[in-house]
Amino acid sequence: MRAESEGDGAIIDRFLAGDPSAVGLVDGWLARAASAYRRRLGDHLEDVLQDVRLEVTRLLQEGKFRGDSSLKTYLWRVTAHTCLDRLRAGARWSFVEYDGESAEAADPATLPRPEAPWSADRDLLLRVLARMEDDCRRLWSMLIDGMSYREMSVETGVSEGALRVRVLRCRRRAQEVREELLAAVAGRAH
């Protein structure tokens, strides 16, 4: 393709001029970069991609691309940051207190049952949280508060890579607990 073989400056000029091949090339890079967040963004992916397109256009018009890396790499970083910002903004949850009881000691059967239509989902979440280790709840709390892995590393004294592994293990454990609880409910229903 001609656009990939030419210099970054020419691609930027053609993109800002609205050249279809340059717009298609940049749009393809953005879509591939955002594909890593497809599952987590769900129905919001197209909205986020539109935000990315607007941000990229603004940055390129203002001459923010300095050429420290390739244009493609720069656009991937902009896309990743925009996707992560949207995920963090959507992850602001509020937690329910257990009236002084620790989550480990709480009997899931005694937890309050909200009357909202989503009460079954909320109840399941509370039951999963009650069975999770304190370390997992602490890591999730930091993530929900919007802390980066670097900030979490400073606070906990654990390397960023190790924290990522711990969060992944906690997530997998939570999925296992969720499946166990759903299987138990399904077993009682039959």
Say if residue 83 is exposed, middle or buried (CB neighbours under 10 Å; 0-12, 13-18, 19+): buried
Instruction: List all residues 6 or more positions away from 52 whose beta carbon is below 8 Å from its beta carbon.
Output: 30, 34, 78, 79, 82, 83
- Output phi, psi for 116, to 5 deg: -65, 155
Can you give the pLDDT of all 190 residues of the chain as single tens digits? Answer: 444 447 888 999 999 998 999 989 999 999 898 888 888 888 788 888 888 888 889 999 998 888 888 999 999 999 888 888 888 876 654 445 555 555 455 555 555 555 555 567 778 888 888 899 999 999 888 888 888 888 888 988 888 888 888 988 999 999 999 898 888 877 776 5
Instruction: List all residues 6 or more positions away from 190 whose beta carbon is below 8 Å from its beta carbon.
Output: none
Distance CA 78, CA 86 (A): 12
